[in-house]
Structure 1
């Protein structure tokens, strides 16, 4: 049975913090940040991150996964899916699908027609998951901001308007 998903606001800062720190501890190469850095955040940092004006933050119940989405200025109106993580015990059980579906729904709810994401090279399982949801690899890449010697590539999905 798939867990339920919950969108978060500033009052949910402890939930986001706990799942985010678990994700950074378990999959440090997946993120541009680090456990050491974010362990130093205080309540106001977490609350600010969850301000609805800064996009979507959602978790699957019981800390089984998390995802964020926002509209960065440099993506020409595209939503960027980021910080997606699924607890190892829940991988392959539909949690990733649930998280992606919520980002796609949030994108449509907010009038956007494209979702981009950055994928670290070598993350084959994530690439397959995104491809199942209609994302395609582009030619755009950059050095991973958190890990020297690793490239990340843009995958994109156009939503029907």
Structure 2
């Protein structure tokens, strides 16, 4: 395990320990009731399901079948659940909550919710919203599907300034470009705002946070330029760049452009491979000392059908 990976693992383990303690506080009231957290989860899943079998609970809760059987026996003995044979499979038992079970689950749920409210009350409303959004980010990112965690929208008021800001910060950090580059991006976006109908800017968001963007500017009725393509570092390598370029090229096709080009600079190999996958070829190279000494600008062109 290299040093960078090891650092991330330690950070995640530290968060896990912290959050385990928080969960312990949240669930304390449940544990002080006659029922364990596992039993409360079983009641929850039975209540949520239209038709619930023990095998369903084993898969949903990732619980040992023997342990689940003991929980179900206790809940049935307490009069919280009832069973009946499945009409399609006589070997299976359909689980459902009794009226007492529904009342018990409601009490457990309300108590748990009240405990969470107490945790949130110590935070400002804005911080509460950020907390919920970040939790959703963790859940969606760990689902392993970038398209499940990211939404794509058109630009809105305020986005232009943010695009300039992130270009200035990231290109200074990663490629040591000076503030003249930030000015160049700002001027190009000001020009776009003079006639936004002659182009499009797509914004990628994850749980309310901008994580990438791309722009298309009409140069002529037949030609467009791809611009302002940026993916936040933590979202690179997950397919988001390909999603944005795909949507940009779909837009170009919808406008019947037959020629699309872009300018970038030498050294951005991941981006270059992506452009080439979409039919772009390197057509020009030139030295540009405006933003950084000996920087080599590159032009890529693609012909559309």
**Same topology, TM > 0.5:** yes
User: How far apart are the structure 2 equivalents of 1:142 and 1:32?
Assistant: 21
Identify the residue that residue 204 of structure 2 maps to in structure 1.
60
- Where in structure 1 are there 5+ consecutive unaligned residues? none
1:6 paired to 2:153: yes
Higher relative contact order (CA 8 A, sep 6+): 1
User: How far apart are the structure 2 equivalents of 1:59 and 1:124?
Assistant: 23
Deviations 1:36-82 (A, max 9, x none): x48x99xxx86962742341111101211011111236xx9421101
Cα distance 1:115–1:159, how it changes in 2: closer, same or farther (>3 A)? same
- Where in structure 2 are there 5+ consecutive unaligned residues? 1-145
User: How far apart are the structure 1 equivalents of 2:179 and 2:223?
Assistant: 20
Cα distance 1:112–1:47, how it changes in 2: closer, same or farther (>3 A)? closer
Of the structure 1 ranges 16-25 and 121-130, higher mean CA displacement relative to structure 2 is found in 16-25
Deviation at 1:157, TM superposition (A): 1.6
Larger strand proportion of the pair: 1
User: What aligned pairs does 1:112-127 form with structure 2 within 5 A after superposition?
Assistant: 112-127=257-272
1:27 paired to 2:171: yes
Paired residue secondary structure (1:115): strand
Cα distance 1:13–1:48, how it changes in 2: closer, same or farther (>3 A)? farther
Which of 135, 149, 158 lines up with 2:280 in the alignment? 135
Identify the residue that residue 193 of structure 2 maps to in structure 1.
49
| Structure having the higher Rg | 2
After TM superposition, the score normalised by the length of structure 1 is 0.77
User: How far apart are the structure 2 equivalents of 1:105 and 1:33?
Assistant: 32
Cα RMSD (Å): 3.1
After TM superposition, the score normalised by the length of structure 2 is 0.43
1:85 paired to 2:230: yes
Deviations 1:70-98 (A, max 9, x none): 1236xx94211011000000001111111
User: How far apart are the structure 1 equivalents of 2:178 and 2:266?
Assistant: 12
Contact 1:66 1:83 in 2 (8 A): yes
Identify the residue that residue 217 of structure 2 maps to in structure 1.
70
Larger helix proportion of the pair: 2
